[in-house]
Amino acid sequence: MNQQQRKNMWLALAGAGAFLGYQVFASRRPAYSFKGKVVLITGGSRGLGLVLARKFAKKGARLAVCARNPEELEKARQDLSSRGAEVLVIPCDVRQETEVNNMVQQVTTHYGRIDVLINNAGVIQAGPLDNQTLADFREAMDTHYWGPLYATLAVLPGMKQQQEGRIVNIASIGGKVSVPHMLPYSGSKFALVGLSEGLRSELKKYNIPVTTINPWLMRTGSTGHGVVKGQHEKEYAWFATLDALPLVSMSAEKSARKILKAIRSGQAELTLSVYGKLASLVHGLSPAFMTEYFGLMNNILPGPGSDERRTGEESKSDLVPDWAQSIQDKNAAKNNENIY
């Protein structure tokens, strides 16, 4: 080992020591209590958003939930109220700045404050690039980037006045590693990760930690609501099957518990599952390797087809194994994801 190599080794060890020291220091900070806090969750009427709302309610938080569908919101309200939660539901399309501002004002008027913002609203689009349109990319950006930005800017004045708050952005492992056949989704989630990291740096001085959450495949039962393009039945089949695999995907409940823990400690970023952490690590070391790997994976995915937009529910077929569809249906019923 020459002198330069020894120097690099000591620098690496020093960096690792500093990182571990910071982790120990951060873990000893007083945990943030959710009891009595007002938690606003976008896209909280079903799926992960609803599971998070249940967890917050159990911790004694007061809830505000918004989503586009009034019927789904009412079912979510009944679900949460039956668990003893104090909950306000407001129809809102996070892609519309005026609606977001009005919604935040309603929550503030009702509760007097907002302590935690969870930017969770999302849309999933699966299909090859050949069948994606500019409208698909705009929809993803409007939902995953502009929506969280609108909500963040709307709650910030109140949080700054309180000199306290929490902002949580539900991004994705797709915002760290771009996946074929999900380009609108991945591109918009990359944008959200960048926004979230920058917000954390700028809002630290106001005592408003910003936490970025990067979920892996999660068993919420949401595949029926996804947008499918191309060879619809084949696209839905691979996506729904992977999403249901217990050894590959995570349960929504386990994910929610980890997310609440990260929020309580003010953690900068949480990437869920061993697979997600490994994918992020390998991508960080060699983006070229990951793009080559996914290039090979892309060769076995369904080819181009129709530009028509269909829901996952409309794309169901016998190509999905019975056990996988059974898991999807069970989780859909549990998490208000059923399509009637």
Query: Please, what is the angle between helix 274-285 and helix 287-300, to 10°?
Result: 120
Amino acid identity, residue 153? L
Which two structure tokens, joined as six digits, stand for 23?
């982790």
Residue of 22, 185, 275, 293 with catalytic role: 185
d(CA 14, CA 296): 38
Q: Which residues contact 220 (CB under 8 A, 6 or more apart)?
A: 46, 47, 48, 51, 252, 331, 335, 337
| Structure tokens belonging to residue 93 | 């399309």
| Residue 227 CB partners (closer than 8 Å, separation 6+) | 123, 124, 125, 126, 127, 136, 309, 310, 311
How far is it, in rounded angstroms, from Cα 176 to Cα 124? 16
Active site annotation includes 275: no
Backbone angles phi, psi at 283, to 5 degrees: -65, -40
3-state secondary structure of 117: strand
- Nearest C-alpha neighbor of 119 from the set 70, 60, 175: 175
Cα–Cα distance, 104 to 122 (Å, whole number): 18
Active-site residues: which are they? 185
